[in-house]
Amino acid sequence: MKGRLGAAGVAQLGSRCLWPGAAVLLLMAACAGNRPDATTPVIVAGSVCSGLVALSAPGPASQPSAASANALAYVRTTPRPELVVYDLTRGRERFRVPAALASRPELLADLVVTTDPHGQLIAFDASSGARRFSVKLARPHWLGAVRVGPNLVFSTTSLSFRPGERGSTVSAVDARSGALRWERSVPYALSRPSARGNRVYVASDHADVWELDANSGDAVGCARQNSGPIDWIQLGSRSILVGAAEQARELTTPAHALGLPITQLPGRPALLASQYDAAPAQRSALGRVALLAELAATTAGPELVAARYFFVFYRELFAFGADGQLLWARLLDSDVVRAQTLAGSGLLVLSEDGSLLQLNAASGALRTLARLAGPIDSADLAASALAPLPAGTEAAPPLRRSLAEIALDTDARLLPGRRLAVAALGALPDPEATEDLLQLYAQAGVPEALRARVAEVLAQRRAGREFLVDALLADYDFLDDRSPPPLAAIVPGLVALHETRALPRLVERLFDPDTRLSELPIVVTAIATLGGPSALPALAEFLAMYHADSSLAAAPDALSAAARALWASSVPAHRALVASVARDPATLDDARAELTALLNPETTNSAPLAQAEPETPKPEAALPITLSDEAIARTFVEHADDLRGCVLSELASNPALRAVRLAFVINGNGSLSGLQVLPDHAELVACLKPKLLAAHFPAFGRARRLANYTIAVHPDARSFERPNDNAAGENFWHFAQLRAAGVGRTGKPWWRNRNPLFVSVESEPAPSPSASQAKQPTGESTGTAPAGRAAAPADAWWLPARGGRASPPAPAAPPPTAASSAEPPAAAASTPPPTAASPAARPSETQTPSDAPARPAAADAGQSAPPDAWWAPAPSNPGPK
């Protein structure tokens, strides 16, 4: 085993052997026997792997087996459940076997591997369909398998909330007989394995990458990145790429990360699928919403192969350049079940109706390879030797037409995809794209959110002015189900283009009862701008007719705009009209006030008339319909310092505070009301309320929305180190148990910097009886550690509930604190472990008993959750109430 012993580890080893009495002697003997050598991994920074054991470079990839080189395995449940393998080279079905399956089949060399609902791994011969073997899974949830020479290596996990049951297992079985070769278990989350050469790689807890020997299961290397979570591993010939969300990076040079502009894509797909996700055999969104990106490692970090990536959204396919520019789009007849890139040259797509399609990567030209019997629930593709589709095989439709087809599609599930198509249409220079957008806007039954998006996009367009002018002709029609045109979107463009042909139609819209109130000022301003003196009679008629009418009471801006234009004309008759309207007691109050200001600029301290240009009010369509959680969070970030002060003040009187929960209403104009604070301590409320009421959120279209926000309060775990008593030959799965014993130093969790309102509690070190014996270490520079810190809390989530392989050293009693004194240590030890944290989200931060006041189990569970995690439990006791 590769590795090296750090200086801190040596020092800790000494401190470990300072235990008093006989225990010390026994332990020293043990230490002497287990003294690590230069190849022993060292546990530092709270992680089982701290990068001290270097990963070896992945070797060459093994050649794919002929049986699975060009095949397709798929699952059908209708009319009866069965597994079918199709030979892509020969273009015919290889076999079909009746089978009720639980997980998506995987083509692995000469095997097709899947699981059944009874928790068994089933392996079929990929050529004949004969059942090779079945093996009972170690844990109920199957993650996936890889083929490494004669072995089949797979991982399973338990999502149980019971600490004793949750965890993950990597198993290796003989690929011919199913005999167990080796098995390793850890009490936390592992990814599905990846393999290269004779090595198996797994990511543990989204943080570490472990390299295992495929024959023995021994850990031969490990690495940890502190630059972000790891959801997947991709192995190159000389590098290991890891990543999560929209980012990919090389393991050893994480600074050169590749980030794709995919965060706005519907469904928020990750750059590569997470290897912590299980793929079911049944119909699911996995595969139907997916990003397909081929990555290669270079000296500058990861790169996109052929500088393009693909996005699948149910029936929609999009191809993007590396810069996020849309290259082509296609709308298929049915949902994509599975898609695979073909070495940068194209895409192989299997759709739910059984169509096997090959697409040209550059043009989107499409050819149907086969029509299989559908409906298909799930599938695995292995098309390593498929010839790419030559360009020009079949003409691809123009991008505009494809996008219009997607945007006009009425499939209610695909609304996010339609929004994407609308945005892409708006960015096209083709004038006809304007027509498409207008047609979409007028389409009956278009969801309001999409219609608002179309209006936003139209407002930005300058191409296709003739379509914009014609759109003004369309008025509301009850019998024809026709909506009024989106004037807020159309008119600004026409004014910018100085399109005077629009003037008569704008006047029609001015007197159209179905012109939206919010759009009237835009129309008035446009008429005044485009029409000049010729348009003034229409404005005069409008002002006279509506100056006292309640229909404009809610939006008198249109009257004011008309009056300004008339007054600015200097035509006596028009000025007289404005003056008489201003004097008329029946004139709407708001309008009269504005007109009075217009006529008497000196007395009302308003702007001079000459400068009184009609303002274009912000159209409602420009506002978002509602406020997103991100926008709310941004506003909180702006006021983070103020709010943090309130929380810190509350902490002074309530040290047990672990979260401040805020519930409130945000009004459409961005103001906040109805604030509820928990804990509802008067001082805290009095501090927070004025600050939050003064905060201004972005305005949005709806009248109001409910919102809540939680300010997490986390104890700042203190660093400590433990001597390395790890015996040579012990493997990575032992380290979790050592960590449970408090061996190691906690590092800063990756998620900590993501919460700007994170409030760190600097816990005062409690006076410890053992402090006189062993000085409290504070970091790596300190070479000693107290014996008392060797122990994890009795209710620590990572402790196995039963059947632990290596028992940690007996913990010394935690130093008494105000909180812990109320509960004797024995009672604390018997406290049932918390059940809120999932194994896949284990925090990197470990708290020791002496770091924070002893708290009940639930509070510890809450502490182990990231502050922004949805599953973070509320601090139940001691409650801030």
Least separation, in Å, of the C-beta of 580 and other proteins? Answer: 9
Least separation, in Å, of the C-beta of 699 and other proteins? Answer: 25
Q: Among residues 661, 714, 656, which one has the least CA distance to residue 692?
A: 661
Which strands, in side-by-side order, build the sheet including 378-383? 92-98, 82-87, 70-76, 378-383
Residues 785 and 771: their CA atoms lie apart, in Å, by 10
Closer CB to other proteins, residue 512 or residue 716? 512
Residue with tokens 């008119």: 491
For the chain, the C-alpha Rg in angstroms (whole number) is 34
Least separation, in Å, of the C-beta of 479 and other proteins? Answer: 5
Residues 672 and 289: their CA atoms lie apart, in Å, by 37
Task: Map residue 185 onto helix, strand or coil.
Answer: strand
Do 16 and 720 form a contact (C-beta atoms < 8 A)? no
Reported residue count of the chain is 881
Least separation, in Å, of the C-beta of 269 and other proteins? Answer: 42
Closer CB to other proteins, residue 183 or residue 541? 541
Closer CB to other proteins, residue 237 or residue 551? 551
Closer CB to other proteins, residue 38 or residue 479? 479
Least separation, in Å, of the C-beta of 445 and other proteins? Answer: 15
Do 356 and 369 form a contact (C-beta atoms < 8 A)? yes
Least separation, in Å, of the C-beta of 585 and other proteins? Answer: 7
Residues 864 and 792: their CA atoms lie apart, in Å, by 13
DSSP, residue by residue, 533-583:
GGGHHHHHHHHHHHTT-GGGTT-THHHHHHHHHHHHHT-HHHHHHHHHHHH
How is residue 496 written in tokens? 């910018």
Closer CB to other proteins, residue 210 or residue 542? 542
Least separation, in Å, of the C-beta of 514 and other proteins? Answer: 5
Residues 405 and 332: their CA atoms lie apart, in Å, by 10
Closer CB to other proteins, residue 550 or residue 605? 550
Closer CB to other proteins, residue 545 or residue 728? 545
Least separation, in Å, of the C-beta of 305 and other proteins? Answer: 55
Closer CB to other proteins, residue 542 or residue 732? 542
- How many Cβ atoms are within 10 Å of 127's Cβ, its own excluded? 18
**In this structure, are strands 759-761 and 704-715 parallel, antiparallel, or unpaired?**
parallel
Closer CB to other proteins, residue 300 or residue 545? 545
H or E stretch at 403 = helix 399-408
Least separation, in Å, of the C-beta of 553 and other proteins? Answer: 10
Closer CB to other proteins, residue 104 or residue 547? 547
Closer CB to other proteins, residue 98 or residue 445? 445
Least separation, in Å, of the C-beta of 351 and other proteins? Answer: 38
Closer CB to other proteins, residue 386 or residue 559? 559
Residues that bind other proteins (CB under 8 A): 476-480, 511-514, 541, 543-552, 581, 585-586
Residue 315 exposed, middle or buried by CB count within 10 Å (0-12, 13-18, 19+): buried
Residues 673 and 665: their CA atoms lie apart, in Å, by 5
- How remote is the C-alpha of 848 from its chain's centroid? 31
Least separation, in Å, of the C-beta of 542 and other proteins? Answer: 9
How is residue 10 written in tokens? 């040596």
Q: Half-sphere exposure of residue 586, counting CA atoms within 13 Å on the CB side?
A: 9
Residues 355 and 106: their CA atoms lie apart, in Å, by 20
Closer CB to other proteins, residue 338 or residue 547? 547
Least separation, in Å, of the C-beta of 468 and other proteins? Answer: 23
Least separation, in Å, of the C-beta of 620 and other proteins? Answer: 17
> Residue 302 carries which DSSP code?
E
Least separation, in Å, of the C-beta of 395 and other proteins? Answer: 42
Do 276 and 289 form a contact (C-beta atoms < 8 A)? no
Residue with tokens 């390593």: 384
Closer CB to other proteins, residue 49 or residue 582? 582
Least separation, in Å, of the C-beta of 545 and other proteins? Answer: 5
Task: Map residue 338 onto helix, strand or coil.
Answer: strand
H or E stretch at 14 = helix 7-16
Residues 313 and 338: their CA atoms lie apart, in Å, by 11
How is residue 121 written in tokens? 């791994």
Task: Map residue 879 onto helix, strand or coil.
Answer: coil
HEC per residue, 195-264: EECCEEEEEECCCEEEEEECCCCCEEEEEECCCCCCCEEEECCCCEEEEECCEEEECCCCCCCEECCCCC
Q: At a CB cut-off of 8 Å and minimum separation 6, what does 394 contact?
A: 365, 366, 367
Do 116 and 122 form a contact (C-beta atoms < 8 A)? yes
Least separation, in Å, of the C-beta of 511 and other proteins? Answer: 5
Closer CB to other proteins, residue 483 or residue 835? 483
Least separation, in Å, of the C-beta of 449 and other proteins? Answer: 22
Closer CB to other proteins, residue 562 or residue 632? 562
> Residue 663 carries which DSSP code?
E
- How many Cβ atoms are within 10 Å of 220's Cβ, its own excluded? 22
Do 103 and 414 form a contact (C-beta atoms < 8 A)? no
As separate numbers, helices (DSSP H) first and strands (DSSP E) second, the chain gives 20, 34
Closer CB to other proteins, residue 551 or residue 653? 551
**Relative orientation angle of helices 536-546 and 520-531, to the nearest 10 degrees:** 150
Least separation, in Å, of the C-beta of 478 and other proteins? Answer: 5
Closer CB to other proteins, residue 380 or residue 519? 519
